[in-house]
């Protein structure tokens, strides 16, 4: 069995990748053991100081490669709003930090809705970049989900900006979808499926 580290401590993300791997190819799922940072005893909060999703994902994956010498992948995601010059982007998790909150989704949504008040162009997209360092090679996989910023919150599921993001072609927000529905069209779902396809062809 090949060990591959997913440089995150977000259990939800690990389970999602394991499930997608199994769904893609049951035999393949038996070839790879997907380990979390916790599984390899890494308790460091790996810095994400890059100016792009790719840089941040690479930073995390490289940290594991350098310190543990294991094949590894990492992801970074965020929300890009056209009328705000693609903000909050890499700052999505800490968008409202400057107003005294820390990684607070409610404060982030309040700030975004305020900045979008009276703004007609509501177009936005979620983007995920996954960087994989495997067998001495660096690969990158991207997933984008287009949609728009609503004028108020709706729905209770999901996380982050889900209650104020309505994906293209839908009348409901991400927070009104089941996890399976969301994974089927989401930025992360798309990027992870590309990663899984690659792993299938490059065991």
Which sequence positions are flagged as catalytic?
76
Q: In b/e form, how buried is each residue of 122-148, taking b as 16+ CB within 10 angstroms?
A: bebbbbbbbbbbbeeeebbbebebebb
Which string of x and - marks every residue 7-46 that binds ligand ITT (by CB under 6 A)?
-x-x--x---------------------------------
Q: Which of 32, 78, 147, 191 contacts ligand ITT by CB under 6 A?
A: 78
Among 37, 126, 185, 194, binds ligand ITT (CB under 6 A): 126
Binding mask 82-111 for ligand ITT (x = CB under 6 A): ----------xx------------------
Which residue is at the shortest CB distance from ligand ITT? 160
Count Cβ atoms below 10 Å from residue 112 Cβ, excluding itself: 22
How near is the Cβ of 79 to ligand ITT at its closest, in Å?
6
Applying CB under 6 A, the span of 24-32, 147-155, 156-164, 192-200 interacting with ligand ITT comes to 156-164
Using rule CB under 6 A, residue 160 touches ligand ITT: yes
The binder of ligand ITT chosen from 35, 176, 186, 192 (CB under 6 A): 186
| Cβ closest to ligand ITT, residue 25 vs residue 55 | 55
**Residue numbers of the site for ligand ITT (CB under 6 A)?**
8, 10, 13, 76-79, 92-93, 126, 158-162, 174, 186, 188
């Amino acid at each position: 069995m090949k060990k591959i580290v997913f440089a995150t401590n977000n259990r939800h993300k690990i389970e999602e990748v394991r499930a997608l791997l199994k769904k893609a190819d049951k035999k393949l799922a038996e070839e790879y053991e997907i380990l979390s940072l916790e599984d390899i005893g890494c308790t460091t909060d790996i810095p994400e100081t890059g100016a792009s999703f790719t840089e941040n994902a690479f930073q995390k994956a490289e940290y594991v490669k350098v310190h543990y010498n294991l094949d590894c992948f990492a992801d970074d995601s965020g929300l890009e709003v056209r009328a705000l010059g693609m903000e909050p982007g890499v700052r999505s998790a800490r968008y409202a930090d400057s107003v005294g909150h820390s990684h607070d989704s409610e404060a982030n949504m309040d700030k975004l809705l305020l900045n979008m008040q009276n703004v007609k162009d509501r177009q936005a997209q979620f983007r995920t970049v996954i960087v994989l360092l495997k067998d001495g090679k660096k690969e990158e996989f991207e997933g984008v989900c287009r949609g728009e910023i609503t004028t108020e919150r709706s729905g209770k599921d999901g996380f982050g900006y889900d209650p104020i993001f309505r994906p293209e072609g839908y009348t409901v927000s991400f927070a009104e979808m089941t996890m399976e529905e969301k994974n089927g069209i989401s930025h992360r779902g798309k990027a992870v499926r590309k990663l899984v396809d690659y792993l299938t062809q490059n065991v």
